Structure formats: C-alpha cells, structure tokens
Amino acid sequence: MNIREKILVIEDEKSIAQFIAAVLDGQGYETIQARSGQEGLSMITSHCPDLVILDLGLPDMDGLDILRQLRSWSSLPVVVVSARSHERDKVTALDQGADDYLTKPFGTGELLARVRTAIRHTRTASGNDEIAQQGTYSVGELVIDYNKHQVLVRGENVKLTLGEFRIVALLGKHAGKVLTYDYIIKELWGPRAGSGNQILRVNMANIRRKIERNPAEPEYLFTEVGVGYRLAEGEWTLPRP
C-alpha cells in the first residue's frame, strides 16, 4: 500500500471544509481539518501535512499571518482559498509565499488541478523534476532547453532574445503556478527595478508572437488578468481542430 498525501484544510466554514475534504478523499488524498488558525498551526507541526489548503478569513487570525509564520520556517506548499476576489488580495497572498490562490466560489476540477500542481512542485527542491534531471522542461509541443538556452516549438528553435528566454525559463521552473508581475520583474531585473510592468508586458507579447500559433489564444503562456502569468503544465491538451 502506498502512502497517501496528507492535506490539511484550514477553514472555519464547516460546509466548505466538508466538501473540500470529500472531493480530496475521493481522489485518494488523506485529509485532516482545522477550524481555526491556532488549531491549524499546531496541526501543521504535529501532523506534518504535504499540503495546506488555507482560508484567509478565519475567526481567530488572518490567514495571511498564518502564511507569514509558516513561511518563516517552512516551504510547505499552501493553496489559499478565499472569498476576497480583488486581484490585490491575490497578489499579496502569492507574494507572501502562497503557491496558489483560488477565489470562492471555485469548481472541484479547479481545486484538484491546483492541488496536484502544488504537490508536484514539492517533490524536488528545484521545483521541477524534469529540469533537475534532464535540463529541459516540456509541455505539449514546447520544450525549454535550460542547457542550451533555447526554446523549441514543434522541434524548431524559436530564437528568443536572452531577456525573453529568461522570462520563459522562470515560468518553466514554476510551471503551472501563477507568477505575479512583481515577482517576475524582481527575479529578472533585480529588486530595484521600477514598479511599472510595461517592459514585461511588451516582452510577453513578443514571446507569444514567437511561440503561440495565435497570440490572442495562447496554448502555453496564460495571463491571469491583473495578477501575472502562468506557463501551461500537465493539463495541456491539443487545440481543438
């Protein structure tokens, strides 16, 4: 019998916690539940879960505080679930170390996809198995070659500039995760880079024109409006005929 991944659900609304647990149980995960922030924190230390699903609006403390405390000593993946829908809240949670953010109401399919992605990223330190072992990341017909600094689409080198390659490479390392504009800018241009994201946006438009069949209908490089960018992972499907 293989060991099942353990998921801690920190959520005060019983009905929501129950349905999340039911969905995850159905997919073969083991779930435990906490109804408050304090209980959640102590369960993280005592049960060592593989993933935490965290509600931001808890009765005793702000979910963001839990995230901050947790991030001071652990890189345990956290998927935030919240009724706060403003993109500012999303950006804050992601920049504070959340691995993903789901706005209530969300579908079960969405929840499972995020959970799978977040768990996959913890398996290796570099965040991505394939990159660690072969120096490449591939999804669909796209291959990022980290050794040769190349991106291949359908076997052909798409000739990105160095700056463009670094953006794609960064997204590839965190494939499936939304990276905020600020995070990408800080990673690539340093913490003193201006707060404007125009250069990044224009760069992304150029990259899409080289990689995507139709830049307005991306298959690989998705936009999370108002938040950031995400590179396709796993769920990639061939475009409809």
Partner 1 sequence: MTFRKPWASPLFPFSWQDLALTVTLFSCAMVLCFFLQDAGVIEGFAPPVFVLTVLLVSRLTTGYLFGFIAAVLGTVCVNFVFTYPYWAFNLSLSGYPLTFFMLLMVSLITCTLTAQAKRQAKLLAENEREKMRANLLRSVSHDIRTPLTSIVGSTSAVLENPGLSPPEQRELLQNAREEAQWLIRVVENLLSITRMGDAQARISKEPEPAEEVLGAAAQKFRRRFPQVNVTVSAPEELLMVPMDPILIEQVLANLLENAAVHGGAANIALSLEAEESQARFVIRDDGQGIPKRELDGLFDGRPKPHRAPDGDGKRNMGLGLSVCRAIVLAHGGTIRARNRSPGAELSFSLPITCKEASL
Q: Which is nearer to partner 1, 22 or 202 (CB)?
A: 202
Contact with partner 1 (CB under 8 A) among 3, 156, 191, 217: 217
Residues 6+ apart with CB under 8 A from 4: 28, 29, 30
Q: Which is nearer to partner 1, 107 or 135 (CB)?
A: 107
User: Could you give the CA distance from residue 126 to residue 124 in angstroms, rounded to a whole number?
Assistant: 6
Token duo for residue 4: 């099942």
Residues 6+ apart with CB under 8 A from 221: 168, 171, 204, 207, 208, 211, 212, 229, 230, 231, 232
In whole angstroms, the minimum distance from the beta carbon of 110 to partner 1 comes to 9
Q: Is 201 in the site for partner 1 (CB under 8 A)?
A: yes
Q: Is 223 in the site for partner 1 (CB under 8 A)?
A: yes
**3-state DSSP assignment of residue 137:** strand
Specify the DSSP element, H or E, that contains 139: strand 136-139
Angle at 112 between CA 104 and CA 127, to 5 degrees: 110
Question: x/- binding map, residues 77-96, to partner 1, per CB under 8 A?
Answer: --------xxx---------
Q: Is 236 in the site for partner 1 (CB under 8 A)?
A: no
Contact with partner 1 (CB under 8 A) among 202, 213, 234, 235: 202
Count residues near partner 1 (CB under 8 A). Answer: 22
Contact positions toward partner 1, by CB under 8 A? 85-87, 105, 198, 201-202, 204-206, 209, 214-218, 222-226, 240
